[in-house]
Amino acid sequence: MKKESLKKLLDAKVEAYNAQLFIETDPVSIPHLFTKKQDIEITGLLAATLAWGQRVTILKNCRKLINWMDHAPHDFMLNHQPKDLKRFEGFVHRTFNDTDLLYFLHFLQWHYRQHASLEWAFAAGIKKVDTTIEGGLNHFRELFFSLSDFPARTKKHVASPAQHSACKRLCMYLRWMVRSDNRGVDFGIWKKIKPAQLQCPLDLHSGRTARNLGLLTRSYDDWKAVCELTDNLRAMDNNDPVKYDFALYGMGVFEGMKRV
């Protein structure tokens, strides 16, 4: 497909899928339950972390966590006591269990007692000259596991480019926090990171569509594949390449695209 035709197709699919109609059944619906910036950040991170498996189960478990945080995540992070953590014991979402969850809560309490926003945990690793969020993702993982009592098993739940991971869930989370438009899906509440620096979330669905469209040649879903895909998307919109995540994912999931 010619570049002009491909851009026209993807722009049309962005228009179709970057819409509030698709929020209800998507993990992004969880942070949309809140209006306070910190509540959006916290529930967004937890929803993105649990965003694999059946959507019904993802949303059910996220709502369970919100209930246990008394529907006030930021206040809970700042003020919870050890006795308040008992309710989280026994939590399981696929391979993510209560050991992992309790460390997430511990880190978030530590962080928010020092910083007003979780944005700093990513933005501190990104230089002004950086063209991507790679440094921010690496910095976040290093910071996240900088506390002395982190469980070794939890490392598998926080990816980074340094581990050659595609970092699908964190790239998706940053898309939610950073992108800003008038469609009402992404929040655009973080300003220290530019939409142009975002990298496209890559999973089975978006990867399959991207390969069928000639946007991705690498066969393995790793960080190199993310860079290849996003570079090709930047050729169509250098300021907001990740808007095409809506098109690639939507075509892969809702249209079951297998070939052009």
pLDDT of residue 257: 56
Encode pLDDT of 18-67 as tens digits: 999 989 999 999 999 999 999 999 999 999 999 999 999 999 999 999 99
pLDDT of residue 83: 97
Q: Is the pLDDT of residue 258 over 90?
A: no
- DSSP letters for the chain: --HHHHHHHHHHHHHHHSSGGGTTTSGGGTGGG--SHHHHHHHHHHHHHT-SS-HHHHHHHHHHHHHHTTT-HHHHHHH--GGGGGGGTT-EETTEEHHHHHHHHHHHHHHHTT-S-THHHHHTT--TT-SSSHHHHHHHHHHHT-STT--GGGGGGS--GGGT---HHHHHHHHHHH---SSSSS-----SS-GGG------HHHHHHHHHTTS---SS-SHHHHHHHHHHHHTT-SS-GGGHHHHHHHHHHTS-----
**% pLDDT > 90, the chain:** 94
Encode pLDDT of 162-175 as tens digits: 999 999 999 999 99
Q: Is the pLDDT of residue 244 over 90?
A: yes
The pTM score is 0.96
Cα of first residue to Cα of last residue in the chain, in angstroms, is 8
Encode pLDDT of 114-169 as tens digits: 999 999 999 999 998 999 999 999 999 999 999 999 999 999 999 999 999 999 99
* Average model confidence (pLDDT) across the chain: 96
Q: How far apart are CA 121 and CA 136, in angstroms?
A: 8
Q: How far apart are CA 72 and CA 34, in angstroms?
A: 9
- Sorting pLDDT into bands at 50, 70 and 90, what band is 256? low
Average pLDDT of the segment spanning 87-103:
98
Average pLDDT of the segment spanning 2-30:
94
The answer to whether 40 and 187 are in contact (CB under 8 A) is: yes
- Closest by CA position to 87, among listed 107, 110, 66: 66
Average pLDDT of the segment spanning 182-195:
97
- DSSP letters for 161-209: GGGT---HHHHHHHHHHH---SSSSS-----SS-GGG------HHHHHH
